[in-house]
Chain A
């Protein structure tokens, strides 16, 4: 056997060994927990045969605590590039079978390399996290490694899409990388994110709490909003990542790919003509509206279970990827509160960063009142959404379906925030406030002066009717040019689709500055 052949044989053997990670027993242990290995996740994520691995033979150089005796090829993370539906992506997947997926210097260097390559080549970065955290034996080098990763998350923010899949523990400082990325997908029952674990919580606060209760997928998907998606299984989580990518471009210079559809642009939806109840206080389901106007009824919702009074997500209309923001009248009457404002603001800014047009469906009676909201900073948080819409230079198409009152009207992509095309349904009420509140303010003296209760109610009703006729319709706004047109609900899909095509070449600037001072 020639030396070359021997060398090739050694290479193949070493590569096969590296692919086993921590070995067969640890792989079995991973499976026993209901988790896939890092390589299995990558095989599901990427197109078959597309993955090229970098630094498969990289090892740590730590000699503390006898570490020089335990070296693994790859050092617990698999990095490289591949394709998803033919589109290049850069990936890293932490391997829990190798030192618990702990992050040391070499581990971090591998991740930083693919992060740099992703940014320089203008391709999305996808990280599959499954790690016990910092490698204690490497000391400050572990922390430095995290710092290098976080800095690259920051440099890549708004340049390339960054998606984090949490497929195991993600604790301590490690959580900040996913926190800095655009989207987090967590898996129920097997993934956790928290700064300090249950043991430390118990010792410091005396609170007894499980890992799931403290930082599980359901918690972060419904209470904190840290997780954008919560998947029932790793397979579902990975499928979500693939679907999510179909709506977003490779980088900030490109537009999202079109998705051809057989759903006609001119499709009318008679159901929309009847969806608004006659009773203004009766709720209806905004999902019904969204389902009618998007291509094939397909809508990928983000933050489905958090701040459910506002709906955000991706869809295609006329084949074009759009970001949809819509108030949900079925939850808290669609009011804006702290979480809803944050949720929508983050989404609007992502869409603006990556050239995804925004379609806003408005039915908002105002901001949620009360001390909890005021003490929690509804002012600042509401300002985030206002700022996000005002700053956005992507095409903005807004349709007011019913209520649009007061400050919430302004915040929800009104004309004055450089809304490009603003439509309203005939049922739209665009006003400072509703009739009952307005009459209480404007006519309280006159009404309270009436002694007879029946007559007082009659006068109040008359005043409310007068206010309704004057303000609670879209035509006052239309008369000032604050909306482009009043449209029949069943034509909404066509009007939005046409507006998006009209606005395709939109170019709009913001003043030159170092960076803004968004009210954080």
Chain B
């Protein structure tokens, strides 16, 4: 009885499929495309949230800053070269070198302390 019922169910599904093929020959394609669109959108959303999370975690900061530092350092170097050729004092050169050193210093190399003792006795 169960086998007969199952056979009947399969036959009913095949009939419905044939009917659909007659009525809507592109239905299967459309279904597949729709599924892909949905999952594609989900994938894009996942990627977008991941990038946003990385942005707030500062993972892009170094790369971005490094590139900015390089461009600015290059500009400073060119300006410095022109300045040196125009005769500037040694003290000024030292000051520029010190400023460059401090500006180009990588973040996180120092363990920062408050430097303040707040205990009152």
> Using a CB–CB distance below 8 Å, which chain A residues touch chain B?
264-268, 318, 487-488, 490-491, 494-495, 497-498, 501-502, 504-505
Interface range on chain B: under 10, 10 to 19, 20 to 34, or 35 or more? under 10
Complex interface: chain B residues within 8 A of A268 (CB) = 113, 115
B117 with A498: CB separation less than 8 A: yes
List residues 86-121 of chain B with CB under 8 A from any CB of chain A. Answer: 110-111, 113-117, 119, 121
B119 with A266: CB separation less than 8 A: no
Contact among A488, A491, A501 for B117, CB-based, below 8 A? A501
Q: With A and B bound together, what is the CA distance between A195 and B89 in angstroms?
A: 67
B115 with A488: CB separation less than 8 A: no
Known contacts A266-B115, A266-B116, A494-B115; is-contact A501 B121 (Cβ 8 Å)? yes
Complex interface: chain A residues within 8 A of B115 (CB) = 264-268, 494
B111 with A487: CB separation less than 8 A: yes
Complex interface: chain A residues within 8 A of B117 (CB) = 265, 318, 497-498, 501
Q: With A and B bound together, what is the CA distance between A483 and B33 in angstroms?
A: 63
A266 with B113: CB separation less than 8 A: yes
The binding surface of chain B is classed by DSSP as loop
Q: With A and B bound together, what is the CA distance between A137 and B82 in angstroms?
A: 92
Expressed in whole angstroms, the minimum distance between the Cβ of A465 and any Cβ of chain B is 25
Expressed in whole angstroms, the minimum distance between the Cβ of B102 and any Cβ of chain A is 12
Complex interface: chain A residues within 8 A of B113 (CB) = 266, 268, 488, 491, 494-495
> Using a CB–CB distance below 8 Å, which chain B residues touch chain A?
110-111, 113-117, 119, 121
Q: With A and B bound together, what is the CA distance between A487 and B117 in angstroms?
A: 17
B121 with A488: CB separation less than 8 A: no
Q: With A and B bound together, what is the CA distance between A257 and B111 in angstroms?
A: 33
Least CB separation from A502: chain B residue: B119
Complex interface: chain A residues within 8 A of B114 (CB) = 266
Known contacts A265-B115, A266-B115, A266-B116; is-contact A490 B121 (Cβ 8 Å)? no
Least CB separation from B119: chain A residue: A501
Known contacts A501-B121, A504-B121; is-contact A490 B110 (Cβ 8 Å)? yes
Complex interface: chain B residues within 8 A of A488 (CB) = 110-111, 113
Least CB separation from A267: chain B residue: B115
Q: With A and B bound together, what is the CA distance between A318 and B115 in angstroms?
A: 12
Enumerate 21 A-B pairs (CB-CB under 8 Å) in ascending A order: A264-B115, A265-B115, A265-B117, A266-B113, A266-B114, A266-B115, A266-B116, A268-B113, A318-B117, A487-B111, A488-B110, A491-B111, A491-B113, A494-B113, A494-B115, A495-B113, A498-B119, A501-B119, A501-B121, A502-B119, A504-B121
Least CB separation from B114: chain A residue: A266
Complex interface: chain B residues within 8 A of A487 (CB) = 111
Q: With A and B bound together, what is the CA distance between A264 and B110 in angstroms?
A: 19
Q: With A and B bound together, what is the CA distance between A426 and B80 in angstroms?
A: 37
Expressed in whole angstroms, the minimum distance between the Cβ of A506 and any Cβ of chain B is 13
Complex interface: chain B residues within 8 A of A498 (CB) = 117, 119
Interface centre among B110, B115, B116, B121 (most CB of A within 10 A): B115
Expressed in whole angstroms, the minimum distance between the Cβ of B53 and any Cβ of chain A is 30
Complex interface: chain B residues within 8 A of A264 (CB) = 115
Expressed in whole angstroms, the minimum distance between the Cβ of B119 and any Cβ of chain A is 5
Expressed in whole angstroms, the minimum distance between the Cβ of A305 and any Cβ of chain B is 36
Q: With A and B bound together, what is the CA distance between A477 and B104 in angstroms?
A: 35
Complex interface: chain B residues within 8 A of A265 (CB) = 115, 117
Expressed in whole angstroms, the minimum distance between the Cβ of A449 and any Cβ of chain B is 44
Complex interface: chain B residues within 8 A of A495 (CB) = 113
Complex interface: chain A residues within 8 A of B121 (CB) = 501, 504-505
Q: With A and B bound together, what is the CA distance between A151 and B17 in angstroms?
A: 118
Complex interface: chain A residues within 8 A of B119 (CB) = 498, 501-502
Expressed in whole angstroms, the minimum distance between the Cβ of B97 and any Cβ of chain A is 15
Expressed in whole angstroms, the minimum distance between the Cβ of B110 and any Cβ of chain A is 6
Complex interface: chain A residues within 8 A of B111 (CB) = 487-488, 491
Q: With A and B bound together, what is the CA distance between A349 and B63 in angstroms?
A: 56
Expressed in whole angstroms, the minimum distance between the Cβ of A499 and any Cβ of chain B is 10
Complex interface: chain B residues within 8 A of A266 (CB) = 113-116
Complex interface: chain A residues within 8 A of B110 (CB) = 488, 490
Expressed in whole angstroms, the minimum distance between the Cβ of B50 and any Cβ of chain A is 32
The 10 lowest CB-CB distance pairs between A and B, nearest first, are A266-B115, A488-B111, A491-B113, A501-B119, A498-B117, A501-B117, A494-B113, A494-B115, A265-B117, A504-B121
Complex interface: chain A residues within 8 A of B116 (CB) = 266
Expressed in whole angstroms, the minimum distance between the Cβ of B99 and any Cβ of chain A is 16
Q: With A and B bound together, what is the CA distance between A266 and B119 in angstroms?
A: 14
Expressed in whole angstroms, the minimum distance between the Cβ of A298 and any Cβ of chain B is 20
